[in-house]
Amino acid sequence: MRIPLGLRVHAGTSALLVVLTAVACLLVSGLPRMMQASFDEALRRALTTAAAVQTDLTVTGEPAAPNGDLHQRARFEDHDAQWRRLLPAALRSLIRPGGHMSAKTVRTPAAATISGAVTYINLGWLSDADRRVDWVEGREPGGPSTMVHDGATIPVVEVGVVDEAVRRMGLRIGQTRMLGSTTLTAVRIVGVFRAKDPGDRAWSHDADVPHVTWVRLPTGVEEFHTTTLMSDDGLAALTSGAHNLTYRWVLPLDGRAATALGVPDVEAAIAEFERQLAVRGTSVISHRLVTGLPKLLGDFLTALAAARTVMYLVLGGLLAVALGVIALGVRLLTDRMEHTLALARARGGSLWQVTVAGGALTALAVGPAALAGYGLSFLVPGPVPPIVHLGPVVVVVTAVSFAVVRLVLAHRTPLNERRDDVATARPSARRVTMEVMVVVLAPAGAYLLRARGLSGSAREDPFLLLIPIALTLAAALITLRCYPYPLRLLVRLAARGRAAVPFLGLTRAARARSASALPVLILLPALSVSVFAAVISDGIATTQRLASWQKVGAPIKLTSAADIPAETIERVRGTPGVERVALALTGRVRIGDTGEWPYAVAVDLAEWRRVAGDGPLDLPALSGSTSALLSPGLGARGTFEIMWLSPAKLTTQGMIDTLPGFYFSGQFLLVPREVLPWPAANTLLIKGDVAPAELARLVPAATVETQERALAAIQADPLAGTVRSTLLVVTVALGVYALVAIVLSLVVGAPERARAVSLLRTLGLSERQARRLTVLELLPLVLVTALAGLALGLGLPAALGPGVDMSSYAGGLPVGDYTPGLLTPAALAAGLTLCALAGAYAHTAIGRRRNLGAVLRVGDLT
């Protein structure tokens, strides 16, 4: 058999197979690249938006003896070069050149106080101070000197102070302050500086330098902390014996160079670098690594595991359905070659020759198409995970193997005639046993998955992938085995009527078991996975909206550090677009019996409910003017007294885990506004359509949050966007594949169906009756499979349970509401039904062009 001639003869079927293969390879190779690119983008965004103190690697050294002190910049630079040489390869590629070094003292007390407050003036040196600060008064510090104090010679260090310390701590140029408790050091203030760029990420490592820290201790004592800056020469005056001294070398991380696939290697490299630092420590100085990078990477991997789990599930379903549709196309091609190969077999061709000819024809159709789809996938930007290369290979191997197996079974003996529509072979005991095992083990596996939980992502826990496949296969087997039985009851009812069309149509549908196995195995997973994807997507969207409401607590929330004047509140009420305003006061209160200082919220709950309107918030209720709801951190207390604006006695009414818009953990309590001695408010909960900028203009010192902005921020997460967009693409693709499967099942059975309809037409069957006959033959399979697929898709989220934790994409809230709307199931069922009807009518219309006399001349009636 000449293969090119076979392609020309079966050009239409080969072209269909080419399109199906190319699209399948494009999807299975392109979607993983798109997802991996989004994973990388999510990681880079997480690393670049986090504070530098969390992402950078900071090596700290604490000298314990004088010979461990570093007094020259050159020695700091030598250590910096040493740390960079110790970096493992996975970390070295992520560390940018530059960074900075520092030496600081901590909790260095000053001799005098400010209005009874304790003052701490720490000494600090930054290697890049000339790049990060501007000297606004005085001059830059110079080298140290000495002075005599109480008969002893002590060092005098020239320092500069931040301008905020001048205002809040009374420090001035020209002052000399004595530092220390036992060993004294004098500092002379010679300049005042200000940060050049207060928003520079590097300041997160040295937040104590550009700002004064104020602390109120539980005893009521106030503390002021500031860190001064000295010159390189001032390092000579910093000794570990006189101060609590710490050295730091900051190795800045380049988050833009990170990749999701390299996260495990980076985690291992951090652990190795930490071990190397511990080994380098000595008795005179100890070194350790300080970084929040492992936690950031751990949080990212948690979110990534959920994304990969859903991606593996839906992509695995997509690949299975695509392979099934390609198998239908291969079946159509082998059916078209049936007579040619049977003739070659009858004329002495060996089974090997016939099989090779059919397999080569299939390979010639799917091979170049797979390469084309694989090549087009590289137009999708993103890294290349192994599945990009593996997917097309699986498609080609499956298509050719299916063709070879089908040809071997069909042509084992020459002229192997059979009638599948008349008698159906009884399944063997081995096949029945296997099917029963699948049906029994699939629900048992789902139960075990829910009981034991998930031990990682889908890649780490293959059990999660096997369960959906087993459930789908079990549902398909049950559908395939059971759907003829209700049809036979309908056949008996139709046999009692006088109309022949219902009886003939339902009879043909009930006898089509052998021919319908492959369409069922395609339609059911296509529908179930597409419904599963739609349900997951709807659940994420619903929970994202709930999370945004939980975060803000109202359509608009205006929060001020100080009380908002009554006239300002009235101006807000009168702003065009503002419909309702609920007043709330937040602050810390003192519990009289225990001395605890929890946070408290006093709010008008009735007005808050009216502000929330039809939002998804479940607001608490208070039954009395002295009732209180306490967080679990406070526990039940009965009656207790608080000191806020005035003393008040409260009675515990119950417990609340969170308070939407205010607090989600820790110690807090909710009280009615009647507790307040006067109507103070520092928070406004607003309902209406008003620009946040207008509210910010009315209350300049306030922060304005909106539920819409909170929702947009949650949805803007790259991983969340990728999950939802991938689910949408897969849903559409599976819907299209389901329709293609219906069309192909029509085409595969078209010759036999057309012959039967033509013969019935010669016996008086009208065109209208022929259309009804075709519809009755197709609709039962489509409807039963659609219902089974919809039911399985709706049940998969609940069955998988702990394997589909999508809280990372829903503002931290667990996605538990997997109740879909009626639109998606109705649209899928209606689409399949309409496609079946359209195919039936098209098939009947094509059949009208057949010459009925030619049917009689074939001799089928003799």
Question: How far apart are alpha carbons 398 and 17 in whole angstroms?
Answer: 13
Residue 311 phi/psi, 5-degree rounding, is -65, -45
- Which among 651, 671, 700 is the end of a domain? 700
| Residue 837, pLDDT score | 67
Q: Is residue 177 part of a domain?
A: yes
Q: By the 8 A CB rule, do 70 and 235 touch?
A: yes
- Give pairs for 799-802: CB < 8 Å, separation 24+: 799/446, 799/449, 799/450, 799/467, 799/471, 800/313, 800/446, 800/449, 800/450, 800/464, 800/467, 800/468, 801/449, 801/450, 802/449, 802/450, 802/453, 802/454
Question: How far apart are alpha carbons 822 and 827 in whole angstroms?
Answer: 8
Confidence of residue 836 (pLDDT cuts 50, 70, 90): low
Residue 583, pLDDT > 50, answer yes
Q: By the 8 A CB rule, do 479 and 523 touch?
A: no
Mean pLDDT of the residues in the chain: 82
- Which among 700, 717, 750 is the end of a domain? 700
For residues 286-305, give the mean pLDDT: 88
| Residue 158, pLDDT score | 94
| Residue 500, pLDDT score | 75
Q: Is residue 313 part of a domain?
A: no
Question: How far apart are alpha carbons 800 and 793 in whole angstroms?
Answer: 11
User: Edge-to-edge, what's the strand order for the sheet holding 57-63?
Assistant: 124-126, 100-105, 245-251, 57-63, 285-290
Confidence of residue 843 (pLDDT cuts 50, 70, 90): low
> What is the amino acid identity at position 372?
A
| Residue 518, pLDDT score | 67
pLDDT digits (tens, 9 = 90+) for 173-211: 999 998 877 678 889 999 999 999 988 889 999 999 999
| Residue 411, pLDDT score | 76
| Residue 582, pLDDT score | 93
Q: Is residue 482 part of a domain?
A: no
| Residue 824, pLDDT score | 66
Question: How far apart are alpha carbons 628 and 674 in whole angstroms?
Answer: 11
pLDDT digits (tens, 9 = 90+) for 531-552: 877 777 788 888 888 889 999 9
| Residue 777, pLDDT score | 76
DSSP conformational letter for 405? H
For 808-828, give the secondary structure using H, E and C: HHCCCCCCCCCCCCCHHHHHH
Residues whose CB is less than 8 angstroms from the CB of residue 134 and which lie 6 or more positions away in sequence, other chains included: 193, 194, 195, 196
> What is the amino acid identity at position 266?
V
Considering only 434-438, 520-524, 754-758, which range has the smallest mean pLDDT?
Answer: 754-758
DSSP conformational letter for 285? E
Residue 162, pLDDT > 90, answer yes
- Which among 262, 290, 318 is the end of a domain? 290
| Residue 862, pLDDT score | 41
Q: Which residue has the higher pLDDT, 24 or 752?
A: 24
Q: Is residue 26 part of a domain?
A: no
DSSP of 293-331 = HHHHHHHHHHHHHHHHHHHHHHHHHHHHHHHHHHHHHHH
| Residue 787, pLDDT score | 80
CA distances from 463 to 203, 218, 285, 607 (A): 47, 53, 50, 50
DSSP of 229-268 = B--GGGGGG--TTTS-EEEEEEE-B-GGG--GGGHHHHHH
User: What is the rounded (10 degree) CA torsion for 730, 736, 740, 743?
Assistant: 150
Domain of residue 86 covers 57-290
Q: Is residue 133 part of a domain?
A: yes
Q: Which residue has the higher pLDDT, 740 or 136?
A: 136
Domain tally, the chain: 2
Q: Is residue 638 part of a domain?
A: yes
Confidence of residue 827 (pLDDT cuts 50, 70, 90): confident
For residues 658-674, give the mean pLDDT: 89
Confidence of residue 274 (pLDDT cuts 50, 70, 90): very high
Which residue in the block uniquely carries the two structure tokens 């498609």?
Answer: 395
For residues 115-127, give the mean pLDDT: 86
Q: Exposure string (b/e) for 315-352, b if CB count within 10 Å is 16 or more?
A: bbbbbbbbbbbbbbbbbbbbbbbeebbbebbeeebeee
For residues 387-408, give the mean pLDDT: 90
Considering only 76-80, 277-281, 282-286, which range has the smallest mean pLDDT?
Answer: 282-286
Confidence of residue 820 (pLDDT cuts 50, 70, 90): low
| Residue 91, pLDDT score | 92
pTM: 0.75
| Residue 89, pLDDT score | 92
Which residue in the block uniquely carries the two structure tokens 């109740």?
Answer: 819
For residues 629-643, give the mean pLDDT: 86
Strand 245-251 relative to strand 556-560, pairing:
unpaired
Residue 861, pLDDT > 50, answer no
Q: What angle (nearest 5°) sits at the alpha carbon of residue 198, between those of residues 562 and 45?
A: 95
Q: Is residue 405 part of a domain?
A: no
Question: How far apart are alpha carbons 271 and 264 in whole angstroms?
Answer: 11
Q: By the 8 A CB rule, do 182 and 176 touch?
A: no
* The two structure tokens encoding residue 444: 């048992």
Residue 849, pLDDT > 60, answer no
Q: Which residue has the higher pLDDT, 425 or 161?
A: 161
Q: Is residue 499 part of a domain?
A: no
Question: How far apart are alpha carbons 27 and 42 in whole angstroms?
Answer: 22
Q: Which residue has the higher pLDDT, 679 or 514?
A: 679
Considering only 168-172, 628-632, 698-702, 785-789, which range has the smallest mean pLDDT?
Answer: 785-789
Confidence of residue 722 (pLDDT cuts 50, 70, 90): confident
Question: How far apart are alpha carbons 107 and 109 in whole angstroms?
Answer: 6
| Residue 368, pLDDT score | 92
Q: By the 8 A CB rule, do 179 and 242 touch?
A: no
Confidence of residue 859 (pLDDT cuts 50, 70, 90): very low
| Residue 847, pLDDT score | 56
For residues 632-642, give the mean pLDDT: 85
Question: How far apart are alpha carbons 423 and 558 in whole angstroms?
Answer: 76
